[in-house]
Structures are given as structure tokens and as C-alpha cells.
Structure 1
Amino acid sequence: MLDRDVLVVAPETTIRTALMQLDRGGLQVVFVEDADGRLVGAVSDGDIRRGLLSGRALEDSVRTVMNRDPATVPPEASQQVVEELKVRRGIRVVAVVDDGRMVDVVGDHQHIATPLVTPVVLMAGGRGQRLYPITKDIPKPLVPLGDVPMIDIILGRLHDQGFRRIHVSVNHLGHLIEDHLGDGHSRDLEITYLHEPAPLGTAGALAQLRNEIDVPFVVMNSDLLTQVDLRRMLTFHQGVGAAATIGAREYGFEIPFGVIRREGDDVVALAEKPYHSELVSAGIYVLEPAALDALGTDEYCDMPTLLARLMDDGRRVGAFEIHEEWIDVGRPEDLDRARQAWERTGR
């Protein structure tokens, strides 16, 4: 958290005062901002030590010893980018800078969570039939893991990564979800709802956001327990210039028999219980606003159909591999796994 009273000094501040600030802040660095509030440098205890050894005095200004190229990241940077920068520069603290102005700092054991303008759409309109009878009177997003509804866990993790604007698509028992979440104010979120007049598939409700969203946005199913770094996925998406990016997960399976390869009537190869793996959709996507033009109003459309339309139109669709924890809570056995994972980590 950025405490300007402790972590920020002016260029004319004396080295003596900067040392006192360093002692108060505990991060071993203070940042230097000019009169317009723009970041112009950083001063560590090492910078001061080297300055004093070269003949600077304690009453000289920090301008004379500051590092004029401090380590910075933009607000949308992923945690991986932050950690790689720390290692590369041999530092413990990184400044988060937006349009030249410092908006946050990320120190040791801290995760970047600068609020993002990126909206997230949670698809929560399904009937959850594979979990019946659990979902007879309760929508699947409100099914608890321990004593915490699944959607609360998802929203908490989104908040931890800096997402604040949430749209929730609702249909089956949607009033229960709305009653539970409200407008999100108590969660430090801005929650609005996409009401499906009838089931619209995994993409159809997104048409309601046409002309409402002007930045890339995240879409994810509301029955996923995952620790994926969505900031990193956004960075990937923007880097490849795609109209859409699919979160992809490796799915492997073993054929429990010996497999025969033949040519005509002749066996040419044998494989005992071979293992196969494929990349499958993880139910997490990043879309450009223009992708919504491929949807009709109140049209039933699944996400694979939307993505196929984009590709048929010559638009690029990328695949971002997810290696973090990921559980699709679709079946009773998946719910058991999710509950065990939640009890084990509690986060």
C-alpha cells in the first residue's frame, strides 16, 4: 500500500531527511516525485551510502544521489512480471506507475493488486444439472465450499488481483445470486447483472455489453476454482494482438488397454496403455470489445461458436496455457475435490 507521507520525497529533500524516511518506511527505498507528482527517481540506503563515499554531504539534496531509472511496472502488470523485474534488478520493491505517476508499490511477499479498469464477466446462468439434487433449490455459484459460497471465493480472488468491475449473467435462480451479492459495495466491487430472458448459452448474454465495454475484458465460468494469474493472461492477450484468447489446460488420459496400429491386416506397432494429452478450454477467456459484434441480441450462442465466428472472419484467437490450480466444479466428485482444496489452502 502506498503511504506517500513515508515513501515519497521531493527532489530538494536533504539526504539526511531521506535517511529518516527510509528508517520510518522499512522498505529500504523512498521514491522521488517532482512538483507535478511525477516519479523521477528512487533512493535506497545503498544509493545514499555510495553518495556519501563519493563526497556528498547529508545536507545535499537527494537529487544528487537518486537513481533516475527506478524499477517500475504499469498497473496491469502480472505478478510474474513484477517478480522477474525484482530478480533482474536485484531489488525488493517495485513502483506501479500510471502515466508517469506512482499509484502503488509492491514489496516483499506482496502481490500487485492495483485496481484495474478491466471488466470481468462471470457466467452464472446455468442450471448445474450434473450437481442435482444439490442445485435443485440453489444455483451452482452459491454451492458452498466449506461454509463459503463458491462465487464468494471467486470474487475474493478477483479482488486480490485488482479487478473491481464485475458483470454477472443470471438466469436459473438468478434472484438468489442477486440477493446474495447485491451491488458489490460491501466487497469493494461494482457488480451489475446481465439478465438472460431464456438460457443463452455460455456467450449469448455478452451481447448485452455491446457499446458498454471499450477495453479488453475477461469472461469466466462461475464454477471454477483456480489460482490463474489473470493479469498475466491479459498481458499475453495484448501481446499477441488477438481478438480473443482462450485459457487452455492440458488434459491427459490413459487408454487402459494395449493399442494396436495396423496397415491392412498386419499389425505394425503395439502400445501398452498409452497416455494421450490434449489442450482443452478452461472456461476462461479474454475478449476484445469488437468480438461482441459477432453476437445477435438475445441469441443463444456458446463460446466455441463465438470463437469459430471470429476465426472464420479472419480474426486471431490465441491460447494461453494455465498451469495453476484449476478445478471445474461440474460433477459431485469435482465438488469434493474443490472442497478438499479449499479446506487445505483456505484461499
Structure 2
Amino acid sequence: MFTLQDITVRPHITIRETLQIIDKSSKQIALVVDEDNKLIGTLNDGDIRRGLLKGFTLSDTIENIYFRTPTVANINESKETIIKLATTKKILQIPLIDNDGILVGLKNLDELIDQQKKPNKVILMVGGLGTRLRPLTENTPKPMLQVGNKPILQTIVEKFSEYGYDNIIMCVNYKSQIIQDYFGDGSQFGVSIEYIMENKRMGTAGALSLLPELPTEPFFVMNGDLLTNVNFEHLCDYHLAHQSKATMCVREYDFQVPYGVVNIDNGKITSIVEKPLHKFFVSAGIYMLSPDIIQYIPKNQFYDMPTLFEQLIENKENVLSFPIHEYWLDIGRVNDYERANNEYDKAFDV
């Protein structure tokens, strides 16, 4: 199985060694990184041949022959943007980097156009009561509310399927039959859907203890009341590249104090800040988890995702954030629902 490390090299490696790596890999490219794993260039067979024509030997390092200004894509860019970039530049492969320039993936144009199925499970938490959305949820579970002429949950399923994630588990409770009757086994939507019944409130992580089989690959967990254009494939790449145990999508949230804030020290006014703006990162309700973290979740008990992350942090596990800048909306209140319907066509290019 291909891993990014198979084609990652440092500048001090020899041309001969790099050729062996390129020939061995089906990707036919080497990605050159520095000691911090930041992408600094690429190297393919053509680059090596041009180097040899200039007088370099197979025993020389690749320092003077690798391509230093490759076209790259950011981890926050959509699949459509990357396809457009690749076709415009007339290239078949584009390295993927995060906001710090760290290499996290390699995108192939053919694979992007003909999306391959992936083994990672998608677990959707869709059992909530939707109390804050009443009376809309009196007869309809929140994930089944119509936005853009389809249920919120259908948009979520379609977005995961778009990226090749078609193995879906829905954790259901409130008015679960409505969800099951609509989606069935998922075949109508091009996916496979299983259901886990929560006989009591389990929280945003507790239902994971009810999984009949332990996932063998990192898996997604997502709340069923979200609308987002986040690139799920990039989230997976990021999680794997950084060897994370648990990755939380986070969203920047800010609010402005409507007054002048007076800073005081021992009764003395030290400064006055007029209407300061405070910024925070908040959980976006989307997670990527490695299978072995399920051992932290108590069996058949209420357990929230923040509690899981706190436990992982306390145990010094590698826990990361994945900032998202794409469209994202938590449909928690009636005004959020109205906003979602107003924005849907534009956000999802309908």
C-alpha cells in the first residue's frame, strides 16, 4: 500500500537512490522536503535526465537538480479547485501542503476526476432531539429538516460520497424510523448505510462504544446537523500525515464587546480598549479518529467528544486541530435553519 513516506526524500540523497524510489513507486515522482517536513521541491524522471545531460552523475545529490517551484495545493482547497488548477497548469500530480507548508499529501488528477472508493468509515451522530429547533422538530428529526429541497443529512451523505467515503454508519435515536425509511441501506444514494440504535442518550462520542466491529482505519465522526464544504479527503490526509490519534476540525469564532473595556490593576486603570474583538477557535463538530482511541470510551454510557479529547490530552496522545475555512453552518436554532435555506444554493453551487 502506498504511503507518502515512500516518495518523500531529502536534498542530500543521491540521484541513484532517488531513481530507485521513483522507479519503485507508481507515482513516478519524488517529493523533496526539509528537516521539518516542509515541501521544498519535486523531482521526476525528466528532471533527473536533464541533470545527467548537464554533467551530474548518479552519485551526486539531488540538491542542484530538483524543481524548486512546484505547483501546490493547500489542504483547505476544494477538490474542484485542485482539478481546475491541475488542468490549467497541465499537470497530473499536485503536492498538498498545510498552512505551514508541511507536506501532507499528493493529489493525482485522474483519481480526483474518477473518485476511488476509500475504506474509512463515516459515523454520523443523528440521534439528537433538536429541542432548540422546535416546533420544526416535533414530528421530524433535526437531520431530516429540508434545506435546499433535501434533508440536511442527505447533503452530508452526498458530500462524503463525493470524496469516495461510502461506508456510513448512522447512530440514531429520536424518530429514527423516519431516517431509516428515507435512506434504507443507502444503495439509492450510492453508499452503504448501517444503523446503531441508541436506546438512551449517549453523547457525541458514547455511541462509538456500540460499534459492532472496531474500525481498522482512521474514521470520521460528524454531527448530523451541519452543512459544510470541508474537504474530507484533506482532513484524512492531514490526520495520517501528522500521525494524529484524534483530529478535531475547528472554526474561528469572534465576538466584539460593545463597550470600552477598562483594564484595572490594584484599583488603577491601566488602559481602556474600545470595543475589543475577541477571537477563539471552536469545535466544528467534525472529527477524524484512529481506531485505538475507542479504548478510552466507556461502554454504553453518556460520553461527549470534548471529554474524550480531554482524556487523550491528559494521556499525552497526539491530538491535533484542523482549521476549516470552507462554508460551515451549525443548524442549531430556527434562525440558523432560515439562514441555511437562504445560503444553500450559493454555498453548494446548486
> TM-score w.r.t. structure 1 length?
0.71
Letter of the aligned partner of 2:249 in structure 1?
Answer: G
Match of 1:157 in 2: 159
- Measured on the aligned residues, the alpha-carbon RMSD in Å equals 3.3
Distance change >3 Å, CA 266–CA 285, structure 1 → 2:
same
Structure 1, gaps ≥5 residues long: 1-37, 48-70, 72-77, 96-103
| Structure 1 residue 132 corresponds to structure 2 residue 134 | yes
| Structure 1 residue 91 corresponds to structure 2 residue 90 | yes
Letter of the aligned partner of 2:220 in structure 1?
Answer: V
Structure 2, gaps ≥5 residues long: 1-24, 30-45, 47-69, 71-76, 95-106
- Report the 3-state secondary structure (helix = DSSP H, G, I; strand = E; otherwise coil) of the residue aligned with 1:145: coil
Deviation at 1:154, TM superposition (A): 1.0
Match of 2:283 in 1: 281
Q: 106, 111, 115: which is aligned to 2:109?
A: 106
Match of 2:146 in 1: 144
Match of 1:315 in 2: 317
1:24-75 Cα distance to aligned partner (Å, 9 max, x none): xxxxxxxxxxxxxx96989xxxx9xxxxxxxxxxxxxxxxxxxxxxx9xxxx
Would you say the 8 A contact 1:79–1:231 is kept in 2?
no
| Structure 1 residue 272 corresponds to structure 2 residue 274 | yes
CA distance in 2, matches of 1:265, 1:79: 52
Distance change >3 Å, CA 151–CA 265, structure 1 → 2:
same
Would you say the 8 A contact 1:210–1:292 is kept in 2?
no
Distance change >3 Å, CA 337–CA 165, structure 1 → 2:
same
- Report the 3-state secondary structure (helix = DSSP H, G, I; strand = E; otherwise coil) of the residue aligned with 2:188: helix
Distance change >3 Å, CA 123–CA 258, structure 1 → 2:
same
Deviation at 1:90, TM superposition (A): 4.2
Moved more, 277-286 or 144-153: 144-153
- Which aligned pairs between 1:235-246 and structure 2 lie closer than 5 A? 235-246=237-248
CA distance in 1, matches of 2:84, 2:141: 42
Rg larger for: 1
- Report the 3-state secondary structure (helix = DSSP H, G, I; strand = E; otherwise coil) of the residue aligned with 2:174: coil
Deviation at 1:93, TM superposition (A): 3.6
| Structure 1 residue 302 corresponds to structure 2 residue 304 | yes
Query: How many residues get paired?
Result: 271
Would you say the 8 A contact 1:259–1:270 is kept in 2?
yes
1:296-333 Cα distance to aligned partner (Å, 9 max, x none): 22111010111111122221110000000000000111
Q: 115, 123, 134: which is aligned to 1:121?
A: 123
Deviation at 1:91, TM superposition (A): 2.4
- Report the 3-state secondary structure (helix = DSSP H, G, I; strand = E; otherwise coil) of the residue aligned with 1:126: coil
Would you say the 8 A contact 1:247–1:283 is kept in 2?
yes
Deviation at 1:202, TM superposition (A): 0.6
Match of 2:50 in 1: none
Q: 141, 155, 176: which is aligned to 2:178?
A: 176
- Report the 3-state secondary structure (helix = DSSP H, G, I; strand = E; otherwise coil) of the residue aligned with 2:196: strand
Would you say the 8 A contact 2:245–2:293 is kept in 1?
yes
Would you say the 8 A contact 1:123–1:169 is kept in 2?
yes
